[in-house]
Structure 1
Amino acid sequence: MESELGFALLGPVRAWRGGSELPLGTPQQRATLALLLLQDGTPTTMGEIADALWGETLPAQPSATIRTYFHRIRRLLATDERDRVITVDGGGYRIEVDRLAVDVGRFCEQVTRADIALEAGLQQDAVEHLRTALSLHQGTPLAGLPGAFVQVERARLSRLRWAALESMCRLEIDRGGHARIVDQLQAAVVCEPLREPLHELLILALYRCDRQAEAFLAYENARRVLREELGTDPGPRLRRLHHRMLSSDPGLRAPHQVLAPPARPAQLPTNLPVFVGRETALAAAGAALPTHRAAPEQTTVIVISGMAGVGKTAFALHWAHEITDRFPDGQLYVNLRGFDAEGVQVGPQETILGFLHALGVHPQRIPPTPDAQSALYRSLLLDRRCLIVLDNARDSAHVLPLLPGRSQSLVLITSRTTLDGLVATTAARTITLDLLDHHTARELLARRLGTERVDAEPDATNALINHCARLPLALSIVAARITAQPPTFPLAHAATQLFGTHHTLDAFAGTDSTPDIRAVLTSSYALLTPGAARLFRLLALHPGSETTATAAASAAAVPVHTAGTLLRELAHAHLVTETSPGRFGRHDLLRAYASERITETEPRAERDTAFHRLATHYLQTADRGARLVSAHQDEPPPLAPGRDVTPETLADAEQAIRWFDTERPTTLPLLERMAAHGLHSHAWRFAWALRNCHDRQGHWHELAAAHRIAARSAAEISDTTGLAYALRGLARADTRLGRYDAAQSRLDRALALFEGLGDVCAIAYTLRQYAWLSDRRDDPETALAHATRARHLFRTITCTPGEAAATNAMGWYLVLLGKSDNAVGLCRDALELLRSTGERFGQANAWESLGMAYHQLARFDEALASYRRAAEIYREFRAHDNEVETLIRLRGSHLALSQRVEADDVLRRVASIRQNLGLPSIGLP
């Protein structure tokens, strides 16, 4: 019925059924139909319809006239008496048709699809969707219809059309398709001469087509039209484009596909120095290798399965190192922690993000949605020959999302289960590792302990092999214990000391769902002093793979030097490994064993108290670090210091930044565990303390994830302050990721909450963030208004860092508005205030603003000095994006002084930084 109907509003109002056009009658009747269609199924009252059709000049009986229109439209659209296309709903009229039966609905659908394609990095698809949307416009929307309502809707639909055209043209220009859209832009400018973005796009397209003279004429035409029609000059974007053309800015040239050298990751852990046996399994693995003669139909997958401790990881890494030359595009490795006793697995999406980084994708180029990230991961591996090792997978669902599509790569998976679902889906080759045979187990001990020592005591050697059940990990642990003793100690003494008279290891007889090396770990654990054993248990509360002596001291409520001594004892026992000076790690089997021991030994209350201390350690350290890297007072009230908690010693901003960098892999799992343990105040404060380092170093997806956890925690305990800060943190991430509407919505909610709390300082900082969002939306006038209001509030509460930042922001926006004379004084005032507070990052911002102002005023030597100071400070904070932007501006000032050699040196520095970040290089002109 209605699916046979079609309607056109993007031109003259028309309707069809089954391909035949319907006679819609008078303009007023057409306007009535258009009104209902534009409401998209929302009921419209008789009064609203009358007002839309006639305004204040109503006919004698408007209701009767409207009913007549409805009667005629029903007869036209309905197929029989039961067909009620127009119905009365709650006192209003509405039309029941599919939104895609109306060209406006199809237009919006195509624009939405373009947005989705763009978010996934599919620019060509986005362009095609926008072209389809624009093709639906057949002239002036609602052509020939009367009424104020029609005028408003006509203007709205026209704006949507021009916005879609601008988006399409901008994408085409970015993709190097400027020549294809020049004519379309010239026609558009004639139709809409007052839309500055159309002028800007036309000028840029002409310039990139090597039609520079026409580009300058197009700018003059835009300037003349705006002056004659509006009495104003072109806006800052057009003026900046004109200035860049005058200075022959190489950045205006058509983009070339100059890509950074592809990343060649080498993530395989070190090969074990002792590896014996497994000849049959190695031969089977070699037979399964892809030939690489032609692109295979699907990726080659090999699953290594077997009991815990049987040597799956050792086998996988040993073989992987042997075949690395077969995979010239690199090796990816992840420990998925599938059998972590605390359930802290490394999920597929977290793994994909890590692999994208390793494959050279800059954080800013990672799509925001998981599906788009997965698609990018598969696309990157399509033509590569990589070796991918997925260690410790829990089940098929854990690894299926990590498989490339059709690829010449090899995926090597280890698991305690057979992964039947994966094997059935991918036809993966399976290799099952069993216990070593007796001869191979003896060879392993001989290589670790020395052949002479093993040959001298065959009975003791056999006893050790039997006690270890020929399990490789158990044999290795026992050998390490023995080598720590004086070499004069007999092996028989070692066997007795480790195992006593007990000749069976019951723990090795368990199923695959239990850690089968428990007995071996127990023998090591039993040799620890009580303090070391307790610390080993408490380390199970830590969600990361590594910890420091200070964090361990907080968990155990002992002095740091005591924790260091206990950790060294654990390291000697091979229950932790000192991965770098002062940092200790442990693999997942040790973590699982520690979790079992703490569950059996420590009461729940003690476990909760210990984790509370550990969480407080991280919160206090992060809070201290946040205050070192920023003097701003944009901080919530701190929690009371934890009893028996020792935070890390951070002396300055450099140490704080290093701590944030080192602990970053732990922060999100720790946040999740804080929330799971009900430490919601800790969670939202910890997320807030991490915000600057996440933001400045470009880890915007992590910034968003942390503050999503923070928002949930604050809501859980009805903490208005926490929710407001979490929303503001999410708004920052949204702004960085280009989700401006979402950022605006979150800022609106945060501001309302802060206003309800009467927190003037937080309100002022929120206004400052509004200003930044307006700046990102190319609206410097609104940004200036927000910054001005923020400065006023900062002054009322004597918040000097905030006042300085707002003052500098005002100067920056004045520069963007072409008012650099006024900006210089503001920026200098801001710089003095920032120096008085020690706020280094803010000083960099102020120097950059001054550089912009001086350059605009043609005071190029002063601009050079300012830019250099800004870049130096940005480098201190590892804020590489800010540094690159400042260096590019520095180069512009060199060029303005005809200092070509210096400008080229700067460009080389920029290229080096961008290469390190995984961004395309910038070629010299």
Structure 2
Amino acid sequence: MAAEFRLLGGVGVDIDGRPADIGHARQQCVLVALLVDVNQTVSVDQLVDRVWGERPPLRAIGTLHSYVTRLRRALADAKDVAIVRRSGGYAISVDDMLTVDVRLFGHLLTQARAAPDPDRAAALFAQALALWRGDALTGLDSSWAATVREGLARQRAAAELEHTDLRLRLGQHAELVAELFTRASEHPLDERVASQLMLALYRTGRQAEALAHYQGIRALLAEELGADPGADLHQLHQQILTADPLIATPAASARQSPPPVAPRQLPAPPVWFTGRDKELTALTAALTAGEGPGGTVAISAIGGSGGIGKTGLALHWAHQHIDEFPDGQLHVNLRGFDPTEPPTQPAVAVRGFLDALGVVGNAMPADPDARAAMYRSVVAGKRMLIVLDNAADSTHVVPLLPGSPTCTVLVTSRDRLAGLVAAHGARPLPLDVLSEAEARTLLATRLGAGRLAAEPDAVAELLACCGGFPLALSILAGRATAHPEFPLAELAAELRDATTRLGALDEGDPAASLPAVLSWSYAALKPDQAAVFGLLGLAPGPDISVPAAGSLTDLPAGRVRAALRALERVSLLQQDVPGRYRMHDLVRLYAVEQAGRDQSKQNRDAALRRLTDFYVHTAHAGDGFLNPYASPIDIGQPAPGCHPQPLDDGAAALAWFDAEHPNLLAAQQSAAEQGWHQSVWQVAWALTGFHWLRGHLHDDVTVCRAGLAAAGHLDNPTVLAMAHGRLGLACARASRHAEAVEQLQRALALAEQAGDLPNQAYIHWALAQALVLQGEDRRALEHATHALNLFQAFDNPAWHARALNLVGWNEAHLGDYDQARAHCEAALALYEGHPDREGEAGTLDSLGYIAHHSGRHAHALDYYDQALTRWLDLGYTYYEANTLDQLGQTHVALGDHDQARAVWQRALKLYQDQHRTADTARIQERLDALGDGGAPAAPPGS
């Protein structure tokens, strides 16, 4: 069944001629939000913004998903339509986009404006306007819907005016009079409507009424606006007064077409253009996509921060394809972010285009709308390229768009031009930094490969400091070219210090100064956006989430989202992952400078404290899910204005840690630099469980070492003992055995000195783990037994079970398999009444080991499979690797070498990812011995 979508009036859908139930207004808004970008992905953030604006409900994303589900049900019978989930959002896939009346409206207008025959053009305009059944999107109340509604209303009004002009040319003045009287009453100050009514009245022999209408609008303009009628309307009045024959008949009044010209306005291409192959290919693809019957204007919106190379890309591509635009190329610098001059107004740009196209001054209308219509008429049907450089936003561009699909438009802007993409089908082309290879090529092109080869270390440092930023690289290349005798190492030394790096990229000329270029974007921000930008520069870590930014800035979720979107819109931030924002390092340095200038030290310190507490408190809540049986610590209350992120379960906690891990490491380092010792220790404590589960063993040693250093400042023996214990266990897992035992023994001594029996039990348990990793099974068993006795005394079933398992594991390593099995089975029985999936999985792994070494290989496979199922469910890759390692040995014992090879390859990958070099080498040896099917040498102890 075919579906037809109606947006030009009340929102509705017909499937095979019958209306579909698409729900209430908010659900309809979701459908409309997808339909205006039909067959394109709309991100979840965009959908939330379009449906609810700056005040989304608490569970907006969940509500959105439910609306999508209902819409899918409503559209289920339409075989040519599907709402599909794509990376980061949704798209509505429609086989024929012209079944969406908004798309059909635009398509018909494009055909009408390109039609050489006036009768055909008028018929197409009439067909397009007949699609309207009232105000667009009737019943939808979101701010986004209102914006779209206004844009569509403007398109409708423009089409009505163009249609009326055509009908007047075709001699339909009598039929138009009544319609124009109605339109003039609705738009009493519109001079173009007034001129159309006056002309229609004059041509139907009603000269006096035409002159009276002129006097009426003249008086109204004076009263309402304090202005006189424009030149066009005044001229028409004079022509009616004198019965000018030029307006007597349609044929006489028709404008003569301007003489054909082929303007060549493109500036020269950039001399040192490098790379951008993917972007150049995308621009060419956009050109091709706009060709053919029913095609639309090919508009490519190149977005990115100042100095990223947008203009260079546009001009390079334009000159590469100049032969494809035989009717000429137009170019204007719209100066949307120029601090020295105001933005170029669209009306001024249109006047310049008409001049270049050969329209003489006395033939050019004074009215901006009429002038824009003439511009569209002149370029209609021509193969022209129009480059609109440095636009401020979408509204800056729309009046300059041609109506003919034969034209191609390139727009560059620091703004994302979302309106241009949504309403005019522009293809966004976000521009990021150059790759390292492209950046190196740029320097080599400017400086010569020999000079780079002579100082490879300096070149590597220069590339790292510039981070692929084209303007920064060009400034450096310019400085190096100006002083060919200076070593590149001197430039590298100047850039090495982050506090002076921006100064080294400032040549005094605004066009060759990265701080100046960034300042142009900064100057366009509202005060609250500028404040958020400065604070974001202070945030440690490579990116920041919306909840973290809320705590950093002490702003509600709606306001911080709006500020982040505003900064992204002008390309001071990038959102590579939905809901996560990053800054280029050089932009971050500029942001820090602005924060230092505009914010007091007290405000900056308070913001950083709120963010640090956000990470500390959210991490501790997450650790409670991942490591529920760890000894609790008191972390106090977060700073005022800090709002830790709620986490619902272990899966949410693990996902949060995965996403925030680099930021947590950076936050701990930042807290250490600030002397916030309590926070440093608390981050270390909260991260350890995650590190073990994901196999981040060396990171764990680093954070635990920092935590121990911080604990030394806290004058708290219990905390110090716990910090020594955590570092000891971290060292044990990272194969730093001597340091592991030393740290754990210090921890035990402190716990014994304090009479802290629970901590003593935990440290004995940790010592047993460390010693068994060293192969000291007898000593390990002694500590495991001691831990077991203490945990039994505390009536702690979960740790009692873990200690039973550890005793059994050590007994198995000593060859006492019967006793080992008894202890491990007792642990498994305890877990039945006191669930602990991690402990249960570890015990199943132990029982697998015991069964394997007892010759019960089938039982071993079963135990290992059960353990693996739990590790995979929990996401505990550290333990998963260990179990796979042992499972491979059981497969070998059973003669199943293919299965052994498969599981050892999985283990090898995990060991490599976790940087466990000794384990990696051991597994690789086993795989090498296994070869292509031969039996391997038996592993030790098999």
TM-score range for the pair, normalised by the shorter chain length: 0.3 to 0.5
Q: Please say which structure displays the higher CA radius of gyration.
A: 2
Give me the TM-score of the superposition, normalised by structure 2: 0.46
Give me the TM-score of the superposition, normalised by structure 1: 0.47
